[in-house]
Amino acid sequence: MKSPIRNRKYATEITADNEGEHVRIAGWVHEKRHLGGVFFLVVRDLGGFAQVTLHKGEVEKELFERVKKVPRESVVAIEGKVKSEKKAPNGYEIIPERMEVQSEASQVLPLDTTGKVGAELDTRLDARFMDLRTERTKHIFIIRSRVLKAIRDFLDERGFIETNTPKIVSAATEGGTALFPISYFEREAFLNQSPQLYKQMLMASGFDKVYEIAPIFRAEEHDTTKHLNEATSVDIEVAFVSDKEVMALLEELIAFVYTKVMDYPGLAKLNLKLDVPKTPFRRINYDEAIKLLSEAGEEIEWGEDLSTSAEHTLGDIISELYFITDWPCAIKPFYAQPGDVEAEGKRKDICNAFDLMHPKVELASGSQRVHSYELLKRNIESKGLSADGFEFYLDSFRYGMPPHAGWGLGVERLLMSMLGIDNIREVVLFPRDRRRLAP
**One domain for residues 86 and 194:** no
- As a three-state string, the secondary structure of 254-312 is HHHHHHHHCCCHHHHHHCCCCCCCCCCCEEEEHHHHHHHHHHCCCCCCCCCCCCHHHHH
* Any domain includes 4: no
CATH at residue 99: 2.40.50.140
Q: What is the mean pLDDT of the chain?
A: 94
- Residue 8: band (very low, low, confident or very high) from pLDDT cuts 50, 70, 90: very high
User: What proportion of the chain, given as a percentage, has pLDDT over 70?
Assistant: 96
pLDDT in tens, 9-54: 999 999 999 999 999 999 999 999 999 889 999 999 999 999 999 9
- Residue 348: band (very low, low, confident or very high) from pLDDT cuts 50, 70, 90: confident
What is the maximum span of the chain, computed from C-alpha positions, in angstroms?
Answer: 91
CATH at residue 397: 3.30.930.10
Phi, psi of 126, rounded to the nearest 5 degrees: -65, -30
The Cα–Cα gap between 125 and 430 comes to 7
What residues make up the domain containing 89?
Answer: 11-103
**One domain for residues 172 and 311:** yes
4 has a pLDDT exceeding 80: no
347 has a pLDDT exceeding 70: no
Q: Which amino acid is at 280?
A: P
Please tell me the pTM assigned to this model.
Answer: 0.93
* Residue-level pLDDT at 170: 85
The Cα–Cα gap between 251 and 281 comes to 7
- Residue 172: band (very low, low, confident or very high) from pLDDT cuts 50, 70, 90: low
Q: Which amino acid is at 197?
A: L
Phi, psi of 380, rounded to the nearest 5 degrees: -60, -45
| Domain boundary residue, one of 56, 87, 103 | 103
| Domain boundary residue, one of 103, 121, 146 | 103
User: CA dist 121 to 224, 425, 439, Å?
Assistant: 14, 9, 14
* Any domain includes 108: no
Report the chain's terminal Cα–Cα distance, integer Å: 30
Cis peptide before 71 (omega within 30 of 0): no
Instruction: Identify which has the larger pLDDT, 407 or 223.
Output: 407
* Any domain includes 109: no
* Any domain includes 253: yes
The Cα–Cα gap between 84 and 15 comes to 8
**One domain for residues 322 and 410:** yes
